[in-house]
Each structure stands twice: as C-alpha cells, then as structure tokens.
Amino acid sequence: MIQGAIQIGLMMLIVSIVFSFYRLAKGPTTPDRIIAADNIATNLTGVLALFAIQTGEKMVIIAVVVLTILSFVATAVLAKFLERGMIIE
C-alpha cells in the first residue's frame, strides 16, 4: 500500500516542481524567483524523504535535515542581499 502512495506522491511532487519552475522562469521580480527557488528546494527534500521510504535507506534522512537548513540559509542570505546590497558588512 505504501508503495502505491509513494508513486502518487512522487507524481504530485514532480508536478509541483514543474509549477515552481514556471514561476522561476516567468516571475516578474527577483523576490518571486527566490520564493520559487526556495519552494523547489523544499519539494526536493520531500522527494528525498519519499526516496528514503521507498528504498529503506536510513542515511537519506540526515540529508533531508541538512538540505532544510541549507535552503533557509540561502533564502536568508539572498533576502539580505536584496535589502542591503551586500551580504557581509
């Protein structure tokens, strides 16, 4: 049962990544693109978690933790760059 749910969930996540890529390509302003990139990163962590369930690989969950923190740092740094024009003052 869980295998079928994983297949359906992976399809949903792939469609969601395609929508985010549409916003990343079209987005009128730069913050729109940053939000789309952040959404793609979160969706990729979801894909990685589904991969961990499907294969039973336990180490992938650590990669999920690391990717979560890394995507937050990237978004925060880009927001600061947009606001101040520099990253390290």
**What's the number of CA atoms in the CB half-sphere (13 Å) around residue 34?**
15
End-to-end CA distance of the chain: 53
- Residues near other proteins (CB under 8 A), total: 49
If we measure between CA atoms, which residue out of 55, 52, 15, 17 comes closest to residue 36?
17
Member of 5, 55, 87, 88 binding other proteins (CB under 8 A):
5
Q: Using CB under 8 A as the criterion, which residues of the chain lie in contact with other proteins when the complex forms? A: 1-2, 4-6, 8-10, 12-13, 15-17, 19-20, 22-23, 28-29, 31-32, 34-36, 38-39, 42-43, 45-46, 49-50, 52-53, 58, 61-62, 64-65, 68-69, 72, 75-76, 78-80, 82-83
